[in-house]
Structure 1
Amino acid sequence: MANNEPGFATLAIHAGAQPDPTTGARVTPIYQTTSYVFDDTDHAASLFGLQAFGNIYSRIMNPTQAVLEERIAALEGGTAALATASGHAAQLLTFHNLMRSGDNFIAARRLYGGSINQFGHAFKNFDWQVRWADPADLDSFKSQIDDKTRAIFIESLANPGGTFVDIQAVADIAHEHNIPLIVDNTMATPYLTRPIEHGADIVVHSLTKFIGGHGNSVGGVIVDGGTFDWSASGNYPMLSTPRPEYNGIVLHETFGNFAFAIAARVLGLRDFGPAISPMNAFLILTGVETLPLRMQKHSDNALEVARWLKAHDKVGWVSFAGLPDDPNHALQQKYAPKGAGAVFTFGLKGGYEAGIRFVEALEMFSHLANIGDTRSLVIHPASTTHRQLTAEQQVAAGAGPDVVRLSIGLEDVSDIVADLEQALEKA
C-alpha cells in the first residue's frame, strides 16, 4: 500500500490518525482540554508567531479536531482543512477571508434556506453584498461580476431540490475573472463528487449532515483546495499583505497552497471563536469511517423511492437527478456517477395543505429540520426551513407550496415505501 494512493474507504478510516503515542489507544481520543503545556519559552514564542505548528488553546486547535481536519482534506483532495462549530460558521470564516466592506459575491439562488438567510441578511451587517444567480443560466453569474466581486458560491447538489450544478462551467467563469469558486458539498459528500477535481478552490460542509451521518453532533469544515493564487490581483489582502498581528507575515507567501486554511484559523477562528468541541469532532470522525457504505445505501434507497413516487397518482412531479428522464440526469452522471444522493423533493397534487397533512401522517419518517441521518427524514420547506422567504423566493429556491423534501435513510426500502404509501392515502 505504501507505493499506491489509498482508496476512498481506506482514507475514510485511516487518514490523519495514528495510535495514541502515550496509551496506544487505536481510536482517536477525545482531547477534552482547553490548553496545552509548552516545552519552553522559545517553543511558546514560535507557536504564537506562526513559526511552528502545534497546540496553544482549543479555541484555535485541538488534537481530536486536527485528525478530523486531515481526514476531510484527504477525502476532498484538498491541501488542508479547518473544522468549525457548524456549517454556518464555516461559511462565515470563509467569507471573512475574502471580503471587505462594500465587496460582493455571487451565489446560486438554489441553496439551503439558512444559507439564503445568512447571505441575504446577516452578512449585510458587514456590508457584504450577495447577488443571486440562476444555476441553470450561466450568464446570470457572468453578467453580475464587477470589480468588487470576490467569489462565486454554489452547492454541488442543491438543497432542497436535489439538483446538480455544473461545477466546471461555473469554475471557468470564476477563474476567467480571477475570483475563487466556493462549493458547498454537504449533500453530495466527497464520496459522490469531489468539487476540487472540477475547478472548485474552496469546499465547505455542514459536517452535521451526511459526513457525521448519525444526527448526534453539529460541525462544519472549510477545505482549502490549494489551487487559487491569492496574490495575483491584490483583492485578497487578508492573505496577500503583511499581517500586523503576526509581525508582518504574508500568509500566502509563507504558507503557499494551504494559506487559505491557515488564514481562516489564525485570523477568523482565533477572533470569532466558533470552535468545534472535541466531543463533536470525535463523533463526526466515527461517522466518517462508514461514509462510503452509508452514502451508497442512501443513494440506492433514494433511487428506488423516487421511482415509486413518480408512478403514484397523488404525486405531481419528482425532482431526483438519478431518474433517467430527469432534466438534471446528465449532470448527475458527469459529477456523481455512483449515485444522486439521498435528498430530493416531490410535489403533491393537493398543494400546501396536502403537504402538511402528508408530513403529519408519516409514522417512521422523522419530521425535523435536518438531512443526512441514518433515519429517513421529511420536511415541508414552505412552512418551515424556507418560511422566512417570500412566495417568489420560495419558488426560486425550489421550495414552493407543494414541495416536500425527503432525506432517505438506511432502513429497508420496503418499509420506507410502506410509510410513504399510508401517508399519501391520508393526505
Structure 2
Amino acid sequence: MAKVGDQIVRIFDADRQTDEAGRHPLFTEPDANYHGLRWAIDLPEPLAPIAFALRVRTVPLRNLGAAISPDNSWIFIQGVETLPVRMIRHSENALKVAGHLKNHPKVAWVRYPGLPDDPSYALASRDLKRGFGGMVVFGVKGGYDAAVKIIDTIDLFSHLANVGDAKSLILHPASTSHSQMTEEQRVASGLSSDLIRLSIGLEHPDDLIAALDDVLAGV
C-alpha cells in the first residue's frame, strides 16, 4: 500500500501471478483507447511488470502531453518572432507552384485553396486574408509507381512527413505514412495512390518549379 497525495493506492505488478483473478482489468484488458497490454504478461521475468509501467506512463502522456523543455521553449519563441513574414513567403511560393502544376501535362489534378477553381477557394478567400498557406497537394499521372519515382529522384525537396519547415518538403502518403492501410481504406480517407503532398518552403519559386519539372519529365 502507498499514499499518493490524499489517496491510498495498492501497488502491484501486472504480471501473470498478480492478475490471474482479473483484479486489475484496467491495466491488463484492452480498452477503447488502447489495444491492451496483455502481450506483456507472457514476457519472462523481470519484464512482465512492464504492462503496468507502460500503462501508467503512456495514458497520462497521451492525455496531458509532455512538458516543453526550456531550450525548446526558447527555440519556439525565436520561430514565432518571424512567423508572419515567413508565412507570406510560404503562401506566395505555394501559389506559384500550384498554378504551374495545374497546367502541367503530367499532373492529373491539383488542390490548393488559392486557386480560383479550387472547391475551397470561396471559403479560403473569406477567412485567409494574407495568403493561403504553404500546402499543395497534387495527383501525378501514372499513379502509385510514378509518385514513388518522383519521391526517389527529386532534388531540392526533402522527403519528410512534417510540414511548415523553411525548406520545401515532399511526401507520398500511400507508400509511407499511410502504407499500412489498404488502397480502399486510403481512398475512403481521401488519399489516392497518385497523391503527392508538398509543403512549400522559402526557396525561390523558380527553383522549386524547375525541380518538379525535372522529375515530372521522367514519369
Aligned pairs (5 A) from 1:111-260: 124-125=33-34
Please name the residue that 1:344 is paired with: 136
Does residue 374 of the first structure (1) align with residue 166 of the second (2)?
yes
Pairing 1:409–2:201 present: yes
Aligned to 1:358: 150
**C-alpha distance after superposition, 1:47-85 (max 9, x if no partner):** x9xxxxxxxxxxxxxxxxxxxxxxxxxxxxxxxxxxxxx
- 1:234-383 aligned within 5 A: 274-383=66-175
Q: How far, CA to CA, are the matches of 1:122 and 1:399 in structure 2?
A: 29
Deviation at 1:126, TM superposition (A): 8.9
Deviations 1:355-389 (A, max 9, x none): 00011111111011111110000010111112222
Q: Within 2, Cα distance between the matches of 1:343 and 1:122?
A: 36
Separation in structure 2 between the aligned mates of residue 411 and residue 380 of structure 1, nearest angstrom: 21
Show structure 2 runs of 5+ residues with no match. 6-25, 37-59
Describe how 1:13-162 pairs up with structure 2 within 5 A.
124-125=33-34
Q: Which string of whole-angstrom CA distances, capped at 9 and with x for unpartnered residues, describes residues 198-236 of structure 1?
A: xxxxxxxxxxxxxxxxxxxxxxxxxxxxxxxxxxxxxxx
Letter in 1 for 2:101: L
Runs of at least 5 residues in structure 1 that lack an aligned partner in the other structure: 1-47, 49-100, 102-120, 128-267
Mapped contact 1:359–1:379 kept (Cα < 8 A): yes
Work out the CA distance in 1 between the residues paired with 2:64 and 2:87: 33
Task: Output the TM-score relative to the length of structure 1.
Answer: 0.37
Per the normalisation by structure 2, the TM-score is 0.71
One-letter code aligned to 2:100: W
C-alpha distance in 1 between matches for 2:110 and 2:138? 4
Query: Aligned pair 1:385/2:177, yes or no?
Result: yes
Letter of the aligned partner of 1:393 in structure 2? Q
Q: 1:396 to 1:335 in 2, by over 3 A?
A: farther
How many residue pairs match? The answer is 168
**Equivalent residue letter for 1:124:** N
C-alpha contact (below 8 Å) 1:361/1:426 kept by paired residues: no
How far, CA to CA, are the matches of 2:65 and 2:82 in structure 1? 30
Find the residue that maps to 2:33 and give its secondary structure.
Answer: helix
The change in CA–CA distance for 1:419 and 1:389 in structure 2 (over 3 A counts) is same
RMSD across aligned positions (CA): 2.5
